Amino acid sequence: MPNPVIHFEIGAKNGKSAIDFYGKLFDWKIEVDQKMNYGMVSQQGSGIGGGVYQTKDGVPPHVTFYVKVDDLQKYLDKAVKLGGIVTLPPTQISPEIGWCAMFTDPDGNSIGLFKVEMRES
């Protein structure tokens, strides 16, 4: 797979409750970052890691997956040509983590793109 799915997120009305639910249901190890109010799901076995968090006011609960790409803008432009809508332009998460962008597909599903920050040594 040239552009693998590398992360997922579950946005819930009640983040604390969702973290508890998914942790118990699937035996996921979830570390909560209090500063970001974000539950980081550890990668286990052959699965991918992800996150569980509380959505902001007005944002409905949702599930999103992130695809690793080498050029965020190139894939956003391609998504638009195919009928998608950009919802988040390329945005740096942090120098240690990388960059993300988001779009909706023609059916309104939210899809994330992720680019790893390449650091020079």
Which part of the chain has CATH 3.10.180.10? 1-63, 69-121
Q: How confident is the model at residue 121 (pLDDT cuts 50, 70, 90)?
A: very low
In this prediction the pTM is 0.86
Predicted confidence (pLDDT) per residue in 13-38, tens digit? 999 999 999 999 999 999 998 888 89
Fold that domain 69-121 belongs to in CATH: 2,3-Dihydroxybiphenyl 1,2-Dioxygenase; domain 1 (3.10.180)
Q: Which residue has the higher pLDDT, 117 or 59?
A: 59
Q: What does the DSSP assignment read for the chain? A: --S-EEEEEEEESSHHHHHHHHHHHHT--EEEETTTTEEEEPP-TTSPPEEEEEPPTTPPPEEEEEEE-S-HHHHHHHHHHTT-EEEEEEEEEETTTEEEEEEE-TT--EEEEEEPPPPP-
Which of 2.40.70.10, 3.40.50.300, 3.10.180.10, 3.30.565.10 is the CATH number of 1-63? 3.10.180.10
Write down the pLDDT at residue 119. 56
